[in-house]
Structure 1
Amino acid sequence: MAEVHIKSHGELIRSREAGHGMPGELFGRQDVFETDVEVFFHKHWILVGVTADVPEPGDVSTVDIGKASIIIVRDDDENIRTYRNVCRHRGARLKEAVRSTVGMLVCPYHQWTYDLDGALRNTTHMGKDFDPTCRSLIPVHTKIVGTHIFVCLDENTPKDISKLEATMAPRFAPYDLTNTKIAFEQEIIEEGNWKLVIENNRECYHCQATHPELTASFLPEDFGFCPENLSEESLRALEEYKARNATCQASWESEGFVSESVEWLEGEAVTQFRTQQLVIAGDGESQTISTKVACTKLFGNITRRDLGDAHMWTHNSWTHVMSDHAVISYIIPLAPNKTLVRSKWLVHADAVEGVDYNLKDLTEVWVATNTQDKHLVEITHKGTQDPAYAPGMFSPFTEAYVDQFSRWYASRLNAHGI
């Protein structure tokens, strides 16, 4: 019997036909999953939280990423710090994966005690020659952009995080996103590979048929469309769309809101991101069913409601910031067929539920959309593992960013010798 050749991770991605989906084994194999976690979640900058996760000194949040775990803490000087969640004694986890408030970080095993700046402050039975200065907590490379907490677990951090920071910091600045609170959180475990979660997020080919709540606030032309053989009515709608976009962007820019689209997705891009100021349909105020603001207490010192949607994505997250609230989602891969999608709805820190906002109005669009996307990812993952699956062709008009993600994924594997 002839020996069956099992393709390597690199061979699988290089076998992808241009403009087509990835081979099913890239979504289902355990060895591929483990490499993905190491390359894309340990060696790249990833989003792991928001500043409102740790609003006060002593607040702690823990995030697990594969075998690694990190602690996010706000210290006594209001700085956000991140550490490896590993005691410097015998390696016990310092904190479980829940938020809490502490005065100091105390290992539950032998009570080694660390200050919020990571310094080891107290031990027992270690003798007079023991040097605690050599046993501080291990810090993690961290960047705060707006409210977003990005970390990189590798010592050789990708330098182009500076491009993301330089692009997004002035866009987020008017919203004063560090002066926010979490109004609602949602965690969903999708029974699908993390790459399928990102692919689904990178296209809106599916949106009109599956996301009635989301499309209430989207202009249909933003979904992508085939420009061939458009009817006169469609051509008029396209011209109206272009005119509305141009008018809105000129108005925003005149008041100091940066709205030009920026893409850092291929070529030199390691820390992949894209940003766009989307025009909102209807009343143009927020991603709600009514397209009006869900929270009447606007971010920062903003007085204007119709600022559209400051949208950003990275390879593990997507963000929507409006004048009244923000929705920030990020993913953590759990297994080849399991991905955690964690979403947070932010409002002004002083906003009061029932007075300034109604939780249903605030959350119904993305709660529904996340639930719908969960189903879409799950049926797609199952299909890619079927023996009958053969990667299909992407639409060049509505799935160009999915094709681009596949190219970036391949280029990053190649850069790591895979």
Structure 2
Amino acid sequence: MTADQDKSIKSLVEQRIPGKSLDAAFYTSDDIFKLDMREIFGRHWIFVAVEPEVAEPGDALVVNVGLSSVILVRDDNGDIRAFHNVCRHRGARMIPEGATMIGNIVCPYHSWTYGLDGKLKFYEHMGAEFKPGCNSLKPVALRSIGGLLFICLSDNPPTDIDDMARVMEPYLAPHNLREARIAHQADLIEEGNWKLTMENNRECYHCGPNHPELTIPLFAYGFGFSPTELDEQGRAEAQRYTDLVDASCSRWEGAGVPSREVDELTGRPTGFRTQRLPIDQSGESYTMDTRAACRIPVGAVQDKALGALSFWTQPNSWHHFMGDHIITFTALPLSANRTLVRTTWLVHKDAVEGVDYDLERLTEVWKATNQQDADLVAIAQQGAEDPAYEPGFYSPYTEGLVEKFAAWYIERLKDSLA
């Protein structure tokens, strides 16, 4: 990046007005995209997978984050490790993106072979002076929080992930993610900048007219609302929802299931938020009839009306934990105007498709919602690229979490550019 480019970006960061959307360049500029990949995705904790994706020794998963490729593998001792997918000989990419099963990590170029612990096991023609112990695979920082796998590509990962782990482990433990299995996984390319993907996720202002499936299990007043625009009946309904949230949280926490809101989205490198909220009608699951999609609970809690524990992390994930299944989402930038959204549905490891659950019923709400969101992100990207675009005001009632995402992003850029 040239000095002029650096100065221009610093100016954009400094002039950002709280409560308004970002300048167009943050969604369209290739220079800012490169900065995002270096400073946001290169230095922060990124959610990439779940433990059941590498359930057994030898199970491996390759995830690409920008130009970096990372191998996640469960070793012979049952521990999950992460390595850069770069051979220590001449740097060849060793395993293609996706899931596989391996006994060793073998470079296809010259057959250098590494154990699942990353140590170099086999090589030829290197001479007596060569030191194999100095040529192990380069490790990548890895943390599992309740079975959710986070990596950090920096050599100095933010240490405040310890705070997130301390808070979130008790919230996630009742759902026993580590004892679940993948029922379905779907990748969707959104034609928009990764920040538009995240901003869209952080609000439900758009939900009413755009998500007919999702708004069946979600309460209307859970989206946020302007109190001054409600009539007497509306105010009464909103109060009933507030009372239901309080009563439900008290009931769940009384049963040993942490549920109350924790909001740490800003003011820290590893921003996060969690809250368990009631589901409408039967209160059981994100399905078209709001009833459990899987007969076998994913955790130890037998209360079917467990609502949905939502967990958001900066910069790239959101998750929903219910009594019958779990859904995780990760957003991985591909370019300044394209983003991969990967959705994973999990059920109890003993659940059998066609017997304990119907896959279409399990996935239909979020498959529809994801495509609807992708369509909205695409038109938002088109708008950001229009010369007429200028930052607009966020709703103080329904877009507070969008503002917190934008504020966190600007905080992190200020920190890095300083």
Instruction: Give the TM-score range, shorter chain.
Output: over 0.9
2:38 pairs with 1:38: yes
Give the equivalent residue in structure 2 for 1:311: 310
Secondary structure at the residue paired with 2:302?
Answer: coil
Aligned residue type for 1:124: E
| 1:300 Cα offset (Å) | 2.7
Query: Aligned residue pairs: how many?
Result: 414
2:374 pairs with 1:374: yes
Equivalent pair of 2:146/2:172 in contact (CA under 8 Å): yes
Per-residue CA deviation, residues 82-109 of structure 1 (Å, 9 max, x unaligned), is: 0000101000011000211111110000
Give the equivalent residue in structure 2 for 1:326: 326
Equivalent pair of 2:13/2:414 in contact (CA under 8 Å): no
Per-residue CA deviation, residues 201-230 of structure 1 (Å, 9 max, x unaligned), is: 000000011001111011111101001142
| 1:407 Cα offset (Å) | 1.4
Q: Percent of pairs identical after alignment?
A: 45
Give the equivalent residue in structure 1 for 2:301: 302
Equivalent pair of 1:60/1:72 in contact (CA under 8 Å): yes
| 1:342 Cα offset (Å) | 0.6
| 1:301 Cα offset (Å) | 2.6
For structure 2, list consecutive stretches of 5 or more residues without a partner in the other structure.
none
Secondary structure at the residue paired with 1:331?
Answer: strand
For 1:230 and 1:354, locate their aligned partners in 2 and report how far apart those are by CA, in whole Å. Answer: 45
| 1:5 Cα offset (Å) | 9.8
Secondary structure at the residue paired with 2:209?
Answer: helix
Equivalent pair of 1:60/1:100 in contact (CA under 8 Å): yes
Alignment of 1:148-227 (within 5 A): 148-227=148-227
Aligned residue type for 2:139: P
| 1:16 Cα offset (Å) | 2.5
Give the equivalent residue in structure 2 for 1:115: 115
Give the equivalent residue in structure 1 for 2:70: 70
| 1:244 Cα offset (Å) | 1.1
Give the equivalent residue in structure 1 for 2:289: 290
For 1:7 and 1:128, locate their aligned partners in 2 and report how far apart those are by CA, in whole Å. Answer: 51
Equivalent pair of 1:318/1:330 in contact (CA under 8 Å): yes
For 1:223 and 1:239, locate their aligned partners in 2 and report how far apart those are by CA, in whole Å. Answer: 14
For 2:104 and 2:26, locate their aligned partners in 1 and report how far apart those are by CA, in whole Å. Answer: 43
Aligned residue type for 1:323: G
For 1:21 and 1:415, locate their aligned partners in 2 and report how far apart those are by CA, in whole Å. Answer: 20
For 2:396 and 2:301, locate their aligned partners in 1 and report how far apart those are by CA, in whole Å. Answer: 38
Aligned residue type for 1:276: Q
Equivalent pair of 2:203/2:223 in contact (CA under 8 Å): yes
CA RMSD after TM alignment = 1.3
| 1:17 Cα offset (Å) | 2.5
For 2:413 and 2:184, locate their aligned partners in 1 and report how far apart those are by CA, in whole Å. Answer: 36
| 1:239 Cα offset (Å) | 1.8
Per-residue CA deviation, residues 382-402 of structure 1 (Å, 9 max, x unaligned), is: 001101111111111011111
For 1:303 and 1:278, locate their aligned partners in 2 and report how far apart those are by CA, in whole Å. Answer: 17
For 2:104 and 2:142, locate their aligned partners in 1 and report how far apart those are by CA, in whole Å. Answer: 21
| 1:241 Cα offset (Å) | 0.8
Aligned residue type for 1:388: A
For 1:242 and 1:28, locate their aligned partners in 2 and report how far apart those are by CA, in whole Å. Answer: 40
Per-residue CA deviation, residues 299-318 of structure 1 (Å, 9 max, x unaligned), is: 13332111111100112000
| 1:6 Cα offset (Å) | 9.9
Change (3 A) 1:5 1:354: closer
Aligned residue type for 2:209: A
Give the equivalent residue in structure 1 for 2:130: 130
Equivalent pair of 2:316/2:331 in contact (CA under 8 Å): yes
Change (3 A) 1:25 1:165: same
For 1:6 and 1:412, locate their aligned partners in 2 and report how far apart those are by CA, in whole Å. Answer: 15
TM-score normalised per structure 1: 0.97
Give the equivalent residue in structure 2 for 1:59: 59
For 1:292 and 1:280, locate their aligned partners in 2 and report how far apart those are by CA, in whole Å. Answer: 10
Secondary structure at the residue paired with 1:257?
Answer: coil
For 1:286 and 1:403, locate their aligned partners in 2 and report how far apart those are by CA, in whole Å. Answer: 29
Aligned residue type for 2:318: W
For 2:257 and 2:108, locate their aligned partners in 1 and report how far apart those are by CA, in whole Å. Answer: 48
Per-residue CA deviation, residues 277-312 of structure 1 (Å, 9 max, x unaligned), is: 011111000111111000011013332111111100
Secondary structure at the residue paired with 1:362?
Answer: helix
For 1:38 and 1:311, locate their aligned partners in 2 and report how far apart those are by CA, in whole Å. Answer: 28
For 2:89 and 2:95, locate their aligned partners in 1 and report how far apart those are by CA, in whole Å. Answer: 15
Alignment of 1:16-31 (within 5 A): 16-31=16-31
Per-residue CA deviation, residues 65-96 of structure 1 (Å, 9 max, x unaligned), is: 11111000011111110000010100001100
Secondary structure at the residue paired with 1:379?
Answer: helix
Change (3 A) 1:373 1:7: farther
Equivalent pair of 1:190/1:341 in contact (CA under 8 Å): yes
Give the equivalent residue in structure 1 for 2:83: 83
Give the equivalent residue in structure 2 for 1:251: 251
TM-score normalised per structure 2: 0.97
Give the equivalent residue in structure 1 for 2:145: 145
Aligned residue type for 1:129: E
| 1:7 Cα offset (Å) | 6.6
Secondary structure at the residue paired with 1:99?
Answer: strand
